[in-house]
Amino acid sequence: MITTAAALPVLQIKGLTTVFPGATAPTVIVEDISLAVSRGETLAVVGESGSGKTMTFHSALGLVPHPGRVAKGQVLLDGVDLMALSADELRARRGAEIAIVFQ
């Protein structure tokens, strides 16, 4: 089977985990989230208030408020790992190549 660029997901989130400091140990806010969105697809994420929707996608775009941090995972946009980019490189992609649209 031959894989073309069009067949690969445009966005892949793999094992994304975000933590905040806790009194005795880090508090896990987003735990092991994985998803894939192919070109032409639309993703809608729904859930109760406080279920982690916003923090999941803030994590994916490098927007976790201090003192939180992404502890592990990959966010691939057209095969480029956003977690490996510098802050300036990631900032340049936000809005131009990827964005979050809230309700």
Secondary structure (DSSP) of 6-75: GGSEEEEEEEEEEEE--SSSPEEEEEEEEEEEETT--------TTSSHHHHHHHHTT-PPTT-EEEEEEE
What pLDDT was estimated at residue 100? 86
Neighbours of 83 (CB within 10 A): 17
Classified as helix, coil or strand, 5 is helix
Condensed to tens digits (0 to 9), the pLDDT of residues 30-82 reads: 999 999 999 999 888 999 999 999 999 999 999 999 999 999 999 999 999 99
Better-predicted residue by pLDDT, 36 or 3: 36
